[in-house]
């Protein structure tokens, strides 16, 4: 993907073929690609031409779809603009024949000598071919790389799990030394994943634009994980009476990163942890509740500071 673009491929099509092209777009998304389609990305009230020009100048590649309706008027203009980009930055242009394309499609001259993706055939798999054209690598090579990356992440996560289990074992071994007043609080914090998910979801409701963007980028689970991870280390810091544990996660808030999210917000994290403090059970000893609230406030201040430092680097 281009450094300046959020999209892997521009889906250039005749509006009469919209349904078929959307189906292809959904399949590309399942493979981890980010396609640009006018219906998904254009904002009402904004200039259509300017939005198209912005993507044409940045997007990594373009797929030109041809169906039974041939090349549409807007599509013809988009193709002309992409021809310039081919010369300027070697932008790949991939001709794609839809299932309803005629036996002898009328392709523009510059597309005729390019290897096309043919959805009229099942073999070779047209989606895999289109993916290869977009990414510039064979689909099987991509699968091998993805598997290797996943195995590496698996090994890292397994090591992190072992490290946490060791810390938990240390904590449980010294359980007899835990202040009896602290035990109900620690018991409540064992449900930190559920607490993080409930409070995080409620907090996000107050930021509808950010919520919409988070869902679109399918990053909601990362948001909950960040909150849960901080709660885990807050729990350790309370039990060990050592604030250093709170400094360990070093997770900059994803949703507060303007390089990833247009509607980035630090406030959603403050809101989530405020809700967590409000949900501390009433049966918890007052002194323990105050201790936990203080540790949460410290964790939030660290978290926000890390986010601001990240933002200053943009």
**Residue 287 and residue 197 share a domain:** yes
Contacts of 117 (CB under 8 A, 6+ apart): 63, 94, 95, 96, 97, 126, 129, 130, 133
- Listed residues 138, 169, 201: the one ending a domain: 138
The answer as to whether 158 is a domain residue is no
The answer as to whether 1 is a domain residue is no
The answer as to whether 229 is a domain residue is yes
Host domain of residue 219? 177-312
CA–CA separation, 13 and 23 (whole Å): 13
**Residue 103 and residue 13 share a domain:** yes
171 close to 237: Cβ distance less than 8 angstroms: no
Instruction: Give me the helices (H) in the chain, please.
Output: 18-30, 38-41, 48-58, 73-89, 126-135, 139-173, 183-189, 192-204, 208-216, 220-240, 267-278, 286-312
DSSP tag of 62: E
**Residue 275 and residue 208 share a domain:** yes
**Residue 221 and residue 111 share a domain:** no
**CB-CB neighbours of 270 under 10 Å:** 16
The DSSP bridge pattern shows strands 61-66 and 117-118 to be: unpaired
**Residue 186 and residue 118 share a domain:** no
- Listed residues 120, 138, 156: the one ending a domain: 138
CATH number of the domain encompassing residue 86 = 3.40.50.10140
CA–CA separation, 272 and 195 (whole Å): 10
pLDDT tens, position by position, 84-138: 666 566 778 889 999 988 888 877 777 777 888 999 998 889 999 999 888 888 8
CATH number of the domain encompassing residue 291 = 1.10.490
pLDDT given at position 252 = 75
The answer as to whether 65 is a domain residue is yes
**Residue 93 and residue 21 share a domain:** yes
The number of distinct structural domains making up the chain is 2
Query: How far from 273 is each of 172, 221, 310, CA to CA, in Å?
Result: 26, 16, 20
The answer as to whether 154 is a domain residue is no
The answer as to whether 148 is a domain residue is no
**Residue 191 and residue 89 share a domain:** no
**Residue 209 and residue 261 share a domain:** yes
**Residue 214 and residue 104 share a domain:** no
**Residue 117 and residue 14 share a domain:** yes
- Stretches in the chain below the pLDDT threshold 70: 1-5, 47-48, 73-89, 171-178, 249-250, 307, 309-314
**Residue 308 and residue 196 share a domain:** yes
CA–CA separation, 272 and 76 (whole Å): 49
CA–CA separation, 200 and 222 (whole Å): 11
**Residue 105 and residue 220 share a domain:** no
The answer as to whether 157 is a domain residue is no
Torsion over CA: 104, 110, 111, 113 (sign): positive
Query: How far from 282 is each of 187, 193, 266, CA to CA, in Å?
Result: 14, 20, 28
- Listed residues 88, 114, 138: the one ending a domain: 138
Contacts of 237 (CB under 8 A, 6+ apart): 243, 244, 245, 246, 295
117-118, strands of its sheet edge to edge:
35-36, 9-12, 61-66, 93-97, 117-118
The answer as to whether 161 is a domain residue is no
């Amino acid at each position: 993907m281009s450094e300046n673009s959020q999209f892997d491929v521009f889906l250039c099509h005749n509006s009469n073929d919209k349904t078929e092209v959307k189906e292809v777009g959904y399949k590309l998304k399942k493979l981890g690609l980010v396609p640009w389609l006018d219906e998904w990305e254009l904002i009402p009230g904004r200039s259509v031409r300017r939005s198209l020009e912005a993507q044409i100048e940045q997007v990594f590649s373009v797929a030109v779809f041809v169906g039974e309706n041939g090349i549409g008027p807007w599509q013809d203009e988009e193709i002309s603009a992409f021809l310039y980009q081919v010369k300027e930055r070697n932008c790949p242009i991939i001709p794609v024949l839809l299932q309803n394309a005629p036996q002898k499609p009328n392709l523009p001259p510059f597309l005729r000598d390019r290897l096309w993706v043919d959805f009229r055939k099942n073999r070779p798999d047209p989606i895999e071919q289109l993916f290869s054209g977009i990414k510039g690598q064979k689909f099987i090579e991509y699968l091998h790389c993805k598997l290797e990356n996943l195995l590496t992440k698996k090994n890292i996560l397994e090591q992190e799990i072992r490290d946490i289990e060791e810390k938990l074992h240390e904590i449980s071994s010294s359980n007899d030394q835990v202040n009896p007043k602290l035990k109900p609080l620690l018991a409540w914090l064992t449900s930190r994943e559920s607490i993080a998910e409930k409070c995080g979801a409620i907090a996000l409701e107050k930021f509808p634009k950010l919520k919409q963007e988070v869902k679109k980028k399918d990053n909601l689970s990362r948001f909950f994980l960040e909150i849960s991870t901080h709660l885990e280390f807050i729990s350790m810091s309370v039990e060990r009476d050592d604030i250093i544990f709170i400094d360990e996660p070093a997770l900059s808030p994803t949703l507060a990163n303007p390089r990833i999210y247009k509607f980035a917000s630090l406030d959603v994290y403050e809101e989530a942890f405020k809700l967590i403090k409000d949900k501390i059970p009433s049966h918890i000893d007052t002194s323990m509740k105050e201790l936990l609230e203080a540790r949460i406030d410290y964790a939030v201040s660290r978290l926000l500071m890390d986010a601001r430092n990240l933002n200053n680097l943009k």
